[in-house]
Amino acid sequence: MAKTTEKYELMYIIKPDLSEEDTAAIVEKFKALVEEHGTIDELELMGKRKLAYEINYIADGYYVLVKFTSAPDFPAELDRVLGITDSVIRSLITVRYE
């Protein structure tokens, strides 16, 4: 029998030059999207940090970590939306094994 839900971890980095309001709006957008398709187990706003290497001449970013549970088909859609959001520099979704 196939699993109906799976645990995931999402880390994404928002451009550092956005205002606090714009950054909060991006975080809220993805929080709402995850809650629409699953449940958030943990949301950690890690704040501005230096990137390991520059991405398109950007040296730092605002890191957000989201641990969530959803159906196995949702992360692909979430990854697609993250990819087309200009304010997001990088994102990574992984399966959590606990």
**Structure token pair of residue 2:** 């196939």
Reply yes or no on domain 6-95 having CATH 3.30.70.60. Answer: yes
User: Per-residue DSSP letters for 2-53?
Assistant: --S-EEEEEEEEE-TTS-HHHHHHHHHHHHHHHHHHEEEEEEEEEEEEEEEE
55-85 pLDDT, tens digit each: 999 999 999 999 999 999 999 999 999 999 9
| Domain ranges, ordered by start, for the chain | 6-95
Q: What percent of the chain shows pLDDT beyond 70? A: 97
How far apart CA 58 and CA 74 sit, in angstroms, is 29
- The answer to whether 85 touches 26, Cβ cutoff 8 Å, is yes
β-partners of residue 8 are 68, 95
> Average pLDDT, whole number, for the chain?
94
